[in-house]
């Protein structure tokens, strides 16, 4: 039974690979159920085909692998490091965003120092380096960069250890927050550039980077406004809005993480992966639908 199931998975992938250019010829009935057509993890059965087939297979954009366009499966027998990096980013972002929202009256961000150094920082940096080793330039750049970002946040927020905040003088002048705002704006620009590269991918993938750069924009503006406040404090409203977008980014990152981990061996459901209609996968699916409709009308 297991052997037949394995063979069916191989046949489905081989058929998709060799017959993708002829959408007018529908596959046999026993080959029509392919999880990655409507969602799920396209990497789930990638090691069930031979190396020759894997070399020619092109998978659609996938947020669980931080792959913004068509890509070949990794040539090595390594696990996918992206869910690990996304989980570190999601948890640390979620925690700091709760503080930015003033949840339960907590406004001191000192609690984020530990996760910023360890989970969102070091672990995410490792995941990015492993992703680069697998040939995923986009994923490796994003994860490694945000790992460095969280380590830098840990350094900046470490009380007394580096003296960065104290070097700007009295808190009331708002100079530290203004400088911190400029730093956040630099990360907003970087994230916006990455977001532009996700516009032909999936909804969850694109909205992840979209929510992050909007959060950076709101927080950077809030910190710059500290110099206009008599007490030298950031703008509360913009800080709350930035925290809200950060919460959204955390949950969307967890969603992409789940999509990268879930497959038929560990879940009873498929994680929806919605491709934009103008993406490569979306255009291909529309072409198949048009071919089927034209065949029915004929």
What pLDDT, in 10s, does the model give residues 29-88?
A: 444 444 444 456 666 555 444 445 444 577 888 888 888 877 777 766 778 899 999 999
Inside any domain, residue 133: yes
Mean pLDDT score, 244-273 = 92
Number of domains in the chain: 1
Inside any domain, residue 60: no
The answer to whether residue 193 scores a pLDDT higher than 90 is: yes
pLDDT band at 7 (very low <50, low <70, confident <90, very high): very low
Q: Where in the sequence is the domain holding 244, given as residue range(s)?
A: 1-19+28-54+65-298
What pLDDT, in 10s, does the model give residues 205-216?
A: 999 999 999 999
Inside any domain, residue 223: yes
Instruction: DSSP for the chain, please give it.
Output: -HHHHHHHHHHHHHHHHHSTT-TTSPPPGGG---GGGTBS-TTTTGGGS-HHHHHH--BPPBGGGTB-S-BPPPSSS----HHHHHHHHHHHHHHHHHHHTTGGG---GGGGHHHHHIIIIIIHHHHHHHHHHTT-HHHHHHHHHHHHHHHHHHHHHSTTTS-TTGGG--GGG-HHHHHHHHHHHHHHHHHHHHHHTTTTSBHHHHHHHHHHHHHHHHHHHHHHGGGGSTT-PPPHHHHHHHHHHHHHHHHHHHHHHHHHH--TTT-SSPPB--B-TTSHHHHHHHHHHHHHHHHHH-
Q: pTM of the entire structure? A: 0.78
Inside any domain, residue 102: yes
The answer to whether residue 182 scores a pLDDT higher than 70 is: yes
Inside any domain, residue 59: no
């Amino acid at each position: 039974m297991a052997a037949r199931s394995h063979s069916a998975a191989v046949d489905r992938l081989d058929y998709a690979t060799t017959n993708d250019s002829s959408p007018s010829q529908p596959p046999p009935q026993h080959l029509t159920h392919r999880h990655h057509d409507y969602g799920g993890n396209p990497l789930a059965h990638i090691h069930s085909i031979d190396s020759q087939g894997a070399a020619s297979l092109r998978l659609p954009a996938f947020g669980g692998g931080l792959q913004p366009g068509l890509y070949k499966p990794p040539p090595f027998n390594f696990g996918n490091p992206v869910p690990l990096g996304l989980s570190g980013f999601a948890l640390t972002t979620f925690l700091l965003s709760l503080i930015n929202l003033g949840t339960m009256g907590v406004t001191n961000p000192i609690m984020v120092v530990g996760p910023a150094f360890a989970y969102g920082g070091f672990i995410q940096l490792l995941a990015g380096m492993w992703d680069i080793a697998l040939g995923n330039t986009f994923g490796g750049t994003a994860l490694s960069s945000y790992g460095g970002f969280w380590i830098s946040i840990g350094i900046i927020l470490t009380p007394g250890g580096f003296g960065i905040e104290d070097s700007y003088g009295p808190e009331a002048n708002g100079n530290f927050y203004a400088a911190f705002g400029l730093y956040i704006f630099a990360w907003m620009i970087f994230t916006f550039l990455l977001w532009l590269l996700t516009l032909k991918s999936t909804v969850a993938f694109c909205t992840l980077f979209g929510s992050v750069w909007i959060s950076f924009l709101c927080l950077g503006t809030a910190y710059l406004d500290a110099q206009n406040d008599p007490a030298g404090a950031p703008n509360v409203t913009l800080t709350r809005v930035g925290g809200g977008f950060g919460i959204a980014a955390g949950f969307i990152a967890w969603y992409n993480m789940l999509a990268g981990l879930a497959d038929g061996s560990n879940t009873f459901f498929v994680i929806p992966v919605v491709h934009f209609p103008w993406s490569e996968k979306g255009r291909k699916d529309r072409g198949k639908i048009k071919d089927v409709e034209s065949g029915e009308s004929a």
